[in-house]
Structure 1
Amino acid sequence: MEQFIGYIATGVVSLVVGLLLQRLQAKPRLLYWVPGSFMFNLKEPKLALRTDSLTIQNDGRLPATNVEIIHKQRPDHFQFSTAISYVEDTGPDGCHIIKIPSLGAKEFVNIQLLSHIQEPVLLNVRSAEGPGQLIQVHLQRIYPKWFQVFVALLMLLGFGFLIYWIGSAIVFVSKSIGVA
């Protein structure tokens, strides 16, 4: 019977390690967010202008290939804020596709959109390795370096006290039940 328990334990450990290695494997991770848009209502000449921004980042450890930005129809005007090679295409359903051959690990691009006829409708951002993930963002104040270091030290100190008290509780409970 002990043989079978050893075989089962070996199989379970192998499965857990295999799943863990698969989860930790280097791969691209495409994130995108829309930091904001703004509508200008001009009086002379009577015109409504809308500006939008879209940021795409490969947060993974491998390059994302064949990145596609898909809009319902072609935006009136768009421009990348960084120099990047791209190709425009039209999908079978008439959607507009901007194709970027590759986006390196930890690299990001920003596309600025200006519309005066029709609003741009973003349908999808994807790569050959999988779909992009829309994340919510907001502006955040950046504190001075000395303040960041001070807060990090306080958090480390708090974590140390937490570990100390958990250890003390374990020792107290083990003495109370007669284990130690």
Structure 2
Amino acid sequence: MEFISTYGKEIVSLLVPFITWFLNVGIKPRAKLIWTNPHAFIFLVQEPLRDVEGNILRPMQRVETASIKVINIGRDTANKIELIFNWQPQHINSWPVRSYEQKIDQDGRCTLIFDNLSPREEIGIEIMSINIDLPALLLVRSAECTAKNVALSWFQFVPLWRINLARGLILIGFSTTIYWVISLIQFLVLKTPH
């Protein structure tokens, strides 16, 4: 305690640049992308697969579907979002309906490019294939960041008033903690040894 009371002003003067840096850089709005695969399913369709002459190649067909969600959880717009698949999906649908560009690389990789994604906005991509495997999603990235793959979990709906009450209590607790820390630092700095 004597060390803090003796060198309190110097300690505070060293902390001020770090606090300033944190306020300028640490909490700066940024784009942050996550992606998840909420569901995938294989349908076995009881319809025979026939060739051109009408001969049965397979007694039933297989339809594979998968859903992909890309969400900007950051506080800034993400630009040039790219979804890179191992190969071109047979059928693609996006929701909400948005225009996108599709590119096929020399090695057959398929890239879907969306212009931008605002904060808290999401894109849903549905892919489907008939009698072939679905391509794997290799990478989701934007000009600002690379998306993180997260697991999707379901949770019970919570009313908005409860969420706002919890936010208010957290704000009061955080404010009280800051007040106590400032009061403690003030007490330690102003208390001078004899």
Please state which band the TM-score falls in when normalised by the shorter chain.
Answer: 0.7 to 0.9
- Whether the 8 Å CA contact 1:68–1:97 is kept in 2: the answer is yes
Tell whether 2:5 aligns with 1:13. Answer: no
| Structure 1 SS opposite 2:39 | strand
The aligned counterpart of 1:128 is 143
For residues 93-108 of structure 1, the aligned pairs below 5 Å read 93-108=107-122
Q: Stretches of 4+ moved more than 3 A in 1?
A: 4-9
Tell whether 2:46 aligns with 1:43. Answer: yes
- TM-score, normalised to structure 2, is 0.68
- TM-score, normalised to structure 1, is 0.73
For residues 159-170 of structure 1, the aligned pairs below 5 Å read none
- Whether the 8 Å CA contact 1:30–1:132 is kept in 2: the answer is yes
- State the shift of 1:62 in Å: 1.2
Q: Distance in 2 between matches of 1:6 and 1:64?
A: 42
- Whether the 8 Å CA contact 1:68–1:126 is kept in 2: the answer is yes
Which runs of 5 or more residues in structure 2 are unaligned? 1-6, 49-59, 177-194
The aligned counterpart of 2:27 is 24
- State the shift of 1:149 in Å: 3.6
Q: Distance in 2 between matches of 1:33 and 1:106?
A: 15
CA-based RMSD of the aligned residues comes to 3.0
Structure 2 counterpart of 1:59, from 59, 69, 73: 73
* Percent pairwise identity: 25
Which runs of 5 or more residues in structure 1 are unaligned? 164-180
Aligned residues: 153
Q: Distance in 2 between matches of 1:22 and 1:96?
A: 36
Alignment CA distance shift 1:141-1:6 (3 Å): closer
- Whether the 8 Å CA contact 1:76–1:118 is kept in 2: the answer is no
- Whether the 8 Å CA contact 2:64–2:133 is kept in 1: the answer is no
* Higher RCO (C-alpha under 8 Å, 6+ residues apart): 2
Q: Distance in 2 between matches of 1:57 and 1:94?
A: 26
- State the shift of 1:111 in Å: 0.7
Structure 1 counterpart of 2:92, from 78, 100, 108: 78
- Whether the 8 Å CA contact 2:85–2:139 is kept in 1: the answer is yes
CA offset digits 1:80-100 (Å, max 9, x no partner):
021111000123543110000
- Whether the 8 Å CA contact 1:75–1:118 is kept in 2: the answer is no
| Structure 2 SS opposite 1:32 | strand
Q: Distance in 1 between matches of 2:162 and 2:30?
A: 31
- State the shift of 1:55 in Å: 0.5
